Amino acid sequence: DAGVIQSPRHEVTEMGQEVTLRCKPISGHNSLFWYRQTMMRGLELLIYFNNNVPIDDSGMPEDRFSAKMPNASFSTLKIQPSEPRDSAVYFCASSLMGAAVTGELFFGEGSRLTVL
Amino acid sequence: SQQGEEDPQALSIQEGENATMNCSYKTSINNLQWYRQNSGRGLVHLILIRSNEREKHSGRLRVTLDTSKKSSSLLITASRAADTASYFCATDAQGGSEKLVFGKGTKLTVNP
């Protein structure tokens, strides 16, 4: 299995620009999670989907952030407009959930975002 | 917040020694998981322990869970330089939540 695939691995952009991060989960997994990792705040859960439906987006920092999952094999996290404080590593993870019990998460290698 | 907190924040040991990392959390859980992250990489699942289990082993890893104290420990025996990484505990919330919340991790350095 190819694992969770994220793109781009690195992105450098200027403040105000739109950023789109992409994720392909493991085939057959029914839940997808977006996390953000910084030195100061650690790993923060931004949003998660179950069967392509957003279940909890309470971690999304503000309206500049949006996430979609149009089908079971693709998700995007968009930041518009981007700000320097959005600089972080963004991780996508997928899992096979059952009966609302959290199982093992499989993480991608992350997208390192730098906003100048 | 149900976020787990690892202790210590950093740990440096010699190859062959044992490494113990601790995790405390605040709310009742269904299970607790430990993950490892090598520098610049994604997190990798190590072991999951359910709330009705007290101890679990996997190779050189031993995890304990004390739900009365809301704490867990991860023991790595006979450490190797390749064990150098950050280790995170993660908890869900009892009651059906699928959210997995991570602590800030313990950075382990194993010196050859």
pLDDT in tens, B21-69: 999 998 888 889 999 999 999 999 999 999 999 999 999 999 999 999 9
Residue range A68-92: average pLDDT?
A: 97
Residue A108 with chain B: CB contacts under 8 Å: 42
Choose from A43, A51, A90, A101 for mutation: most chain B CBs within 10 A: A43
When pLDDT is cut at 50, 70 and 90, the band that residue B7 belongs to is confident
Rounded-to-integer distance, Cα A113 and Cα A37, Å:
11
**Mean pLDDT of the A3-7 span:** 97
**Contact yes or no for A67/A55 (Cβ under 8 A):** no
What the block records as the tokens of B27 is 């709310």
B5, B86, B98: best to mutate for the A interface, most A CBs within 10 A:
B98
Residue B1 banded pLDDT, cuts 50, 70, 90: very low
Nearest of A34, A106, A43 to residue A76 by alpha carbon = A34
* B10, two tokens: 């950093």
Task: Give CA A48 to chain center in angstroms.
Answer: 8
Is B87 exposed, middle or buried (CB count within 10 Å of its CB: 0-12, 13-18, 19+)?
Answer: buried
Nearest Cα neighbor of A10 from A115, A116, A112, A83 is A112
Q: Which residue of B has its CA nearest to A57?
A: B99
Q: What is the pLDDT of residue B81?
A: 97
Chain A and chain B share a number of CB contacts under 8 A equal to 60
Using an 8 Å CB-CB cutoff, list chain B residues near A42.
102-105
pLDDT category at A1 given cuts 50, 70, 90 is: low
Where in A1-116 does DSSP place strands (E)?
Answer: 5-7, 10-13, 19-24, 31-38, 42-50, 53-56, 65-71, 74-79, 88-95, 106-107, 111-115
The answer, yes or no, to whether residue A107 has pLDDT greater than 90, is yes
Record the tokens describing residue A11, joined without a space.
């992105």
Query: B-chain residues within 8 Å CB-CB of A102?
Result: 30-31, 33, 92, 97-100
Contact B73, B21 (CB under 8 A): yes
Where do we find the tokens 């490892």?
A: B36
pLDDT in tens, A54-69: 988 989 988 999 999 9
Record the tokens describing residue A80, joined without a space.
Answer: 């518009």
Contacts of A4 in chain B (CB under 8 A): 42
Tally helices (H) and strands (E) across chain B.
0, 11
Which residue in A66, A55, A60, A54 sits closest to A21, CA to CA? A66
pLDDT over 90 percentage in chain A:
84
pLDDT in tens, A15-41: 999 999 999 999 999 999 999 999 999
Q: Which residue of B has its CA nearest to A88?
A: B40
The residue-averaged pLDDT of B82-87 equals 98
